[in-house]
Amino acid sequence: MTNKMEKMQIFKLIDGDFEPSEARSILFTLVNSKINFHSMESFGITIRTSGDTSFHEKRIKELAQTNVDIKKVLDYATENKLNLRINGNIEIGLLDESKDN
């Protein structure tokens, strides 16, 4: 018996209204986790193979800029006593690399 799974799955990770301090914690934890992931991947590639880390370095820069942009929104919300609505979905697609796409 074979289990079939949909090729695309969507998971709701964040869904709600937050005070700026809560949003800061959630969003910076998420983005910083991704920065740490790419930093460790880059470090591992450098140590193991001295291979190309340009993809990871590019993502680190993009994510660092995302942190800056998020901080601006959060600072504005704090200064103006506003809450934030955050919705964050993750889409996971199954790839079958054995078939020509």
The pTM for the full model equals 0.82
Q: What is the 3-state secondary structure (H, E, C) of 77-97?
A: HHHCCCCEEEEEEEEEECCCC
For residue 6, tell me if it sits in a domain: no
pLDDT of residue 60: 97
Query: By residue range, what is the domain housing residue 43?
Result: 11-90
Asked whether residue 98 is domain-assigned, the answer is no
pLDDT value for 3: 67
* Nearest by Cα to 38 from 9, 66, 72: 66
Determine the pLDDT at residue 99: 63
In a domain, 36, yes or no: yes
Task: Give the type of residue at 56.
Answer: H
Number of domains in the chain: 1
Residue 41 counted as domain residue:
yes
101 within a domain of the structure (yes/no) = no
- Answer yes or no: is 32 within a domain: yes
Is residue 56 domain-resident?
yes
Mean pLDDT of successive 10-residue segments in the chain (101 residues)? 76 98 98 98 92 95 98 98 97 81 45
pLDDT in tens, 56-70: 999 999 999 999 999
Q: What is the 3-state secondary structure (H, E, C) of 28-70?
A: HHHHHHHHHHHHHHHHHHHHHCCCCCHHHHHHHHHHHHHHHHH
What distances in angstroms separate CA 88 from CA 12, 34, 51, 58, one per listed residue? 6, 15, 33, 23
